[in-house]
Amino acid sequence: MNESMPDSEPVFAAWVGIDWADQEHVWILEVADTGQRQGGKLPHTPEAIEAWAAALAARFDGRPVAVGLEQARGALVYALMKYGHLVLYPIHPATAARFRRALYPSGAKDDPRDADLLLELLLRHRRQLRPLKPDTELTRKLQNLVEKRRQLVDEKTAQTNRITGQLKLYFPQMLDWFEDIGSPLVGALLARWPTLEQLQAEPAAALSQFFRQHNCRSEARLQQRLEQIPQARPILSDRAVVEPAVCFVQALLQVVAALREGVAALDKEIEQAVAAHPDFFIFRSFPGAGPKLAPRLLAAFGSDRQRFHSAAQLASFSGIAPVISRSGRAAPWVHFRWACPKFLRQSFHEFAAQSILKSTWAREFYDRQRARGKGHHAALRSLAFKWIRILFRCWQARTPYQQELYRRPSPPHPPLQPLRPRSGKTMDLQFKKVAGLSKSVGLSS
């Protein structure tokens, strides 16, 4: 079995499969020399984890122990990462679930059996697994910061959408007067005048002063609002509906304000982290990578130059590269990757969208993809695929982006060649929409 393992893999003294849980984990261990197995339960407390890891170190004289578990991030992984003799192998939950279904079609499931399945995956299929190799502390901090920031932004968007839904019910004019319902201006206005009737009762001079105090510098827009407010008519006068909606909106406004402050605090932390990172100058040099996207690009690549062997590997891992499914005589199906790190794919996708505003060749490439019939997001994914190659090269060479090297877009890809199935007939690829995706179907000629 060891002959099929990578040459760089250490000689393990034992292998462990852990089925993690909220309060108590189940583990099964196999000793490398004897094949003897034993199991137990591990409470999720610092003292218990410390004692368990120390016992393994003492038992095997500090030799490395491989540990397979269904986490790449999480409380148990972070707790075990600090022990140098434990080599962690994250196993995707979908992989473990399918392996379980393959061995137990009945759907039977319990914790000791799951730990045993993880151990079997670790023993028999370790070549397909990658040991967890933590990046530098500063890089991991930045990765967590940009992801937490996005979570707060998404939560703020969700709460703002809820406010919008309530305003449509009793105060729809707000949606016409203001573009950003989640802005501090709208929050302050609705906190002071929750309904149209209360807003109309305020003198025009007081409203004008309020808007000016909240940095409304467009005189034309200010006058337009002052003219429309007295002329507006309430859409609803049923107090049984309006008053509960007003209370609900007032509560949501406080949530949005707190989330806005949280995003601002994370922005400061991110700014400090990237200022100290030695690779930030690379990603800051790319067109469209501003103060929000440049840190996300840095977090996407990290500091370990050995993590990805090629740009194509990163494109596939991130979900930017398409997936081709072929099976026998069935028509090939080209689609984007569903199982991938969504935040990572989103980072490249959004960077590509911003780059077409700053880069001439990126804009030309995007326009050419649209002219060929691709939709907006498909064209952005194609552009992101090209950007990953450039980003990867600059990252590996530790050099900033140089616009003059990429002024001319590369020639368009040649058309897909007809496929020749087993029957010997040629097949021309055509595309149709399936569940919102572009699916290629082969037509025999």
CATH of residue 256's domain is 1.10.287
Query: Is 293 inside any structural domain?
Result: yes
Q: Tokens 């090629």 belong to which residue? A: 310
Residue 26 is predicted with a pLDDT of 93
Query: Are 6 and 130 found together in one domain?
Result: yes
**Cα-Cα end-to-end distance for the chain:** 48
| Type of residue found at 230 | P
Query: Are 73 and 92 found together in one domain?
Result: yes
Query: Is 435 inside any structural domain?
Result: no
Query: Are 329 and 398 found together in one domain?
Result: yes
Residue 301 is predicted with a pLDDT of 96
Query: Are 79 and 42 found together in one domain?
Result: yes
Query: Are 46 and 95 found together in one domain?
Result: yes
Residue 406 is predicted with a pLDDT of 65
Dist CA 218 CA 224 (whole Å): 10
Q: Are 140 and 307 in contact (CB under 8 A)?
A: no
Query: Are 205 and 236 found together in one domain?
Result: yes
Dist CA 153 CA 293 (whole Å): 14
Domain end point (choices 84, 104, 134): 134
Query: Is 336 inside any structural domain?
Result: yes
Query: Are 158 and 85 found together in one domain?
Result: no
Query: Are 148 and 266 found together in one domain?
Result: yes
Dist CA 19 CA 156 (whole Å): 35
Residue 408 is predicted with a pLDDT of 53
Query: Are 158 and 268 found together in one domain?
Result: yes
Query: Is 118 inside any structural domain?
Result: yes
Q: What are phi and psi of 90, to 5 degrees?
A: -65, 135
Q: What is the pTM of this model?
A: 0.80
Report the sign of the C-alpha dihedral through residues 336, 156, 71, 268, in that order: positive
Name the 3-class secondary structure at 67. strand
Number of domains in the chain: 3
Dist CA 207 CA 211 (whole Å): 6
Dist CA 119 CA 124 (whole Å): 9
Residue 95 is predicted with a pLDDT of 86
Residue 407 is predicted with a pLDDT of 60
Query: Is 436 inside any structural domain?
Result: no
Domain end point (choices 85, 103, 134): 134
Domain end point (choices 273, 302, 332): 273
Closest C-alpha to 295, from 73, 74, 147:
147
Query: Are 358 and 258 found together in one domain?
Result: no
Query: Are 335 and 242 found together in one domain?
Result: no
Query: Is 91 inside any structural domain?
Result: yes
What is the CATH number for 30? 3.30.420
Q: Please, is 396 exposed, middle or buried when counting C-beta atoms within 10 Å of its C-beta (0-12, 13-18, 19+)? A: middle
Query: Is 311 inside any structural domain?
Result: yes
Residue 378 is predicted with a pLDDT of 92
* Positions of the chain with pLDDT under 70: 1-7, 406-445
Query: Is 412 inside any structural domain?
Result: no
Q: Which two tokens stand for residue 41?
A: 């339960």
Q: Which residues span the domain enclosing 126?
A: 2-134
Query: Are 244 and 129 found together in one domain?
Result: no
